[in-house]
Amino acid sequence: MDPGLPTGAETGPVVSTDWLADRLGHPNVRVVDCRWYLRPFDLRNGDDEYARAHIPGAVHLRWDTDIADPDRPDLWMLAGPERFAAAMSARGIGDETFVVAYDDQHVTVAARLWWALRVYGHTAAAVLDGGIAKWAAEGRPLDDDAGAPAPARFTPRRDNRLYATKQDVMAALATDIRLADGRMAAARAADGGAIPGSIALPGIEMIGPGGVWSHPDEARSRIAAAGGAVGEPTIAYCRGGVGACGTALAYAIAGQDDVAVYDGSWTEWITDPDAPRVLDQP
């Protein structure tokens, strides 16, 4: 890592627009536009939004194709190491690159990339606080040039502590591991159930006015109010693995950066008739 750049541990899980503006164009900073929209709730297309205007120098990445496992198209689970490394390399993200991911907070897809990078051992990553909306509202530059960064060498170093499987969650039910449900209330109600013992903690609800994430003290308070505690072993889940990454990001803001994400989440859980569930909402 360039000695002039901090590590992810030094910046924290989010960086400000000022922070990024001061480093925009740095050869070892790669900005990634992660915009993606959940249909039919939003009919926009992330590729089109990127092509129309993005932060200068940003590359575009789709969580549901570029870094998803093509052998599990029903679940959009995280790609294996070779596919993930190829996606990073093609976007100029190497072992020495500091990654700043952003979205427009329709869903927490920037947090998905932040989490995925850390699963593969790349901790020099953060989410842009306020996303592109805050950047634009402050009158900062936008661009429509896609560019073509030179390929970089990305070495995946899997950290399984941050990744939970269905078997991990099943085993956790008999322990004191906390399960945090990252689905919003409407999604939980539509799904009609939850994993037993889980608390309701949508990470996206910790985004406040101006798209800014909660202050660490507020994040800790909200986690406690939901029935969790910073520092206890925790696995986050949601409907499809994205909202849970927002919950993991909220925990990291609060000071706990080792929350695992159940990648298959509720979509996989309900396909197993032996997986327990409760009908009462958490």
The angle formed by the CA atoms of residues 124, 2 and 147, to the nearest 5 degrees, is 75
Q: In angstroms, rounded to a whole number, what is the distance separating the alpha carbons of residues 84 and 86?
A: 5
**Strand, coil or helix: 78:** strand
Local confidence band at 5 (pLDDT 50, 70, 90 cut-offs): low
Q: What whole-number distance in Å separates Cα of residue 78 and Cα of residue 67?
A: 6
What band does 41 get if pLDDT is binned at 50, 70 and 90?
Answer: confident
Percentage above 90 pLDDT, the chain: 84
How does the average pLDDT of the chain come out, rounded?
A: 93
From the candidates 179, 184, 194, 238, which is the catalytic residue? 238
At 230, is the pLDDT very low, low, confident or very high (cuts 50, 70, 90)? very high
Whether 238 sits among the annotated catalytic residues: the reply is: yes
State the DSSP H helix or E strand holding residue 19, giving kind and residue range, or none if neither.
Answer: helix 17-23
Q: What is the CATH number of domain 8-158?
A: 3.40.250.10
Distance CA 87, CA 265 (A): 23
Residue 141 has pLDDT above 70, yes or no: yes
- The CATH topology of domain 161-269 is Oxidized Rhodanese; domain 1 (3.40.250)
pTM: 0.94
Q: Are 184 and 205 in contact (CB under 8 A)?
A: yes
Residue partners of 113: CB distance under 8 A and separation at least 6: 32, 34, 61, 63, 67, 99, 101, 125
Same fold, 8-158 and 161-269: yes
For the chain, give every domain's residue range.
Answer: 8-158, 161-269
Question: What is the pLDDT at residue 282?
Answer: 45
Supply the pLDDT for residue 7: 58
